[in-house]
């Protein structure tokens, strides 16, 4: 229980709107999300009976889970509202929109709410808490969307920290290139988390409503070491071991640091959806999240990637190693990855964004 809280408290993205903040450094997530715009629009126009869903109240409710501090969430919500309005217009119906913004309790909700678009066409509510439990009332929402968030596990699998376990993940920071038992521990943790996620959403989404998810993915059976992120995780481990050898951090700190991010395959998620039994699968596919990127990638692209990773994962490092080491860790990591630009480039070939859309039965 204690470890769960440690991870959850250390997750939120870098707050505020300064030069290192998530709000100023989340353009990669935004560009990847923009690849889903048309698909989400098509889903809403073809699969959602918006008019009948709101016949009792005239209020259409949307939730963005893991919304962070903006601005990506505002673009996403605005696009969804536009699609729903188009559908309703064609049925000569008008609605008011209510948007629930969810993230962990120590997300910087002040930045989120102070930067809400002035000209927005919706009412805004904050619903803090983990999406692995209930965050909304029973049958209260018509569309739930969550982008770049559900690959964050609720906690580091506890076996990874147990020296007597075969899944003790000494000197590695992730399941990439790790022992089979470590991979299994991550997979099991994801299974438990996704089960809870689906159970909670099944209670919150009205019958006929949609659940739309974009997260880290991987083709079934592919080793994680094939992916560009694997080079990053290996480089993080190398940097930490170098800093340990220079006496800047302890062996114990290195061995107990694990990044709770998991990439799921479509088949894995489909099996969990079937087990849950409350949703039909409307879409399930892997997408290349870098389809917008000019190729080949160059050194500047790798630097930009690291700036985004620092704003996204920085708090994990701060929580574990201290604020004072964050810049040093990321300067070393960036230098190392810039030196590996060609390797990064050639491993950026896979479709590693998992997109799925479910309809509440
Ligand atoms: C990479 S950010 C993505 C933010 C935004 N959706 C976007 O696309 O820019 C992931 C967000 O998910 C949130 N998150 C992770 N686990 C969560 C959980 N269990 N419950 C709620 N939010 C969570 C993090 O705090 C973070 O703000």
Residue 2 has pLDDT above 60, yes or no: no
Instruction: Give the residue, out of 4, 7, 10, 11, with the most ligand 1 atoms within 8 A of its beta carbon, to mutate for a pocket test.
Output: 11
Integer Cα distance of 329 and 313 in angstroms: 12
Instruction: Give the model confidence (pLDDT) of 236-277 as tens digits.
Output: 999 999 999 999 999 999 999 999 999 999 999 999 999 999
Is residue 83 within 8 A of residue 36, CB to CB? The reply is no
User: Does the beta carbon of 130 lie inside 6 Å of ligand 1?
Assistant: yes
Residue 72 CA: nearest ligand 1 atom is: 9
Q: Indicate which CATH number applies to the domain containing 166.
A: 3.40.50.150
User: Does the beta carbon of 72 lie inside 6 Å of ligand 1?
Assistant: yes
Instruction: Give the residue, out of 101, 115, 149, 307, with the most ligand 1 atoms within 8 A of its beta carbon, to mutate for a pocket test.
Output: 149
pLDDT attached to residue 14: 81
What is the arrangement of strands in the sheet containing 96-102, beginning at the earlier edge strand?
A: 123-126, 96-102, 59-65, 141-147, 205-216, 353-360, 279-287
Cα 314 to middle of ligand 1, angstroms: 13
Q: Give the structural domain span for 53.
A: 2-360
User: Does the beta carbon of 153 lie inside 6 Å of ligand 1?
Assistant: no
pLDDT attached to residue 7: 58
pLDDT (mean) for 308-314: 93
Integer Cα distance of 302 and 334 in angstroms: 8
Number of domains in the chain: 1
Cα 64 to middle of ligand 1, angstroms: 10
User: Does the beta carbon of 313 lie inside 6 Å of ligand 1?
Assistant: no
Question: By C-alpha distance, which of 23, 91, 96, 79 is closest to 51?
Answer: 91
Instruction: Give the pLDDT band (50/70/90) at residue 22.
Output: confident
- Interface confidence, given as ipTM, is 0.99
């Amino acid at each position: 229980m204690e470890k769960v809280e440690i991870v959850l408290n250390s997750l939120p993205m870098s707050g505020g709107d300064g030069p290192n903040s998530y709000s100023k450094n989340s353009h990669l997530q935004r560009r990847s999300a923009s690849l889903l715009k048309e698909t989400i629009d098509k889903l809403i126009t073809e699969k959602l009976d918006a008019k009948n869903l709101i016949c009792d109240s005239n209020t259409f409710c949307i939730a963005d889970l893991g919304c962070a501090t903006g601005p990506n969430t505002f673009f996403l919500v605005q696009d969804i509202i536009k699609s729903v309005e188009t559908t309703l217009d064609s049925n000569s119906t008008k609605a008011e929109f209510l948007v629930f913004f969810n993230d962990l309790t120590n997300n910087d909700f002040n930045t989120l709410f102070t930067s809400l678009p002035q000209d927005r066409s919706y009412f805004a509510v904050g619903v803090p808490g983990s999406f692995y439990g209930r965050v909304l009332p029973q049958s209260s929402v018509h569309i739930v969307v969550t982008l770049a968030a559900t690959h964050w596990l609720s906690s580091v699998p506890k076996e990874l920290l147990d020296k007597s376990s075969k899944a003790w993940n000494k000197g590695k920071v992730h399941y990439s290139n790790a022992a089979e038992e470590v991979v299994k521990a991550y997979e099991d943790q994801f299974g438990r988390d996704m089960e809870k996620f689906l159970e909670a959403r099944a209670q919150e989404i009205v019958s006929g409503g949609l659940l739309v998810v974009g997260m880290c993915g991987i083709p079934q059976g592919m080793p994680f070491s094939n992916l560009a992120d694997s080079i990053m995780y290996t480089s993080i481990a190398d940097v930490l071991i170098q800093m340990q050898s220079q006496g800047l951090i302890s062996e114990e700190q290195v061995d107990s640091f694990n990044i709770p991010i998991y990439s799921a395959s479509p088949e894995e998620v489909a099996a969990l959806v079937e087990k849950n039994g409350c949703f039909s699968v409307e879409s399930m596919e892997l997408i290349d999240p870098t389809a917008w990127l000019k190729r080949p990638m160059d050194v500047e692209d790798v630097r930009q990637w690291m700036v985004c990773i620092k704003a996204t994962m920085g708090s994990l490092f701060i929580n574990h190693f201290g604020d004072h080491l964050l810049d040093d860790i990321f300067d070393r990591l960036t230098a190392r990855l810039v030196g590996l630009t060609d390797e990064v480039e050639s491993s950026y070939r896979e479709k590693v964004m998992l997109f799925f859309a479910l309809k509440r039965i």
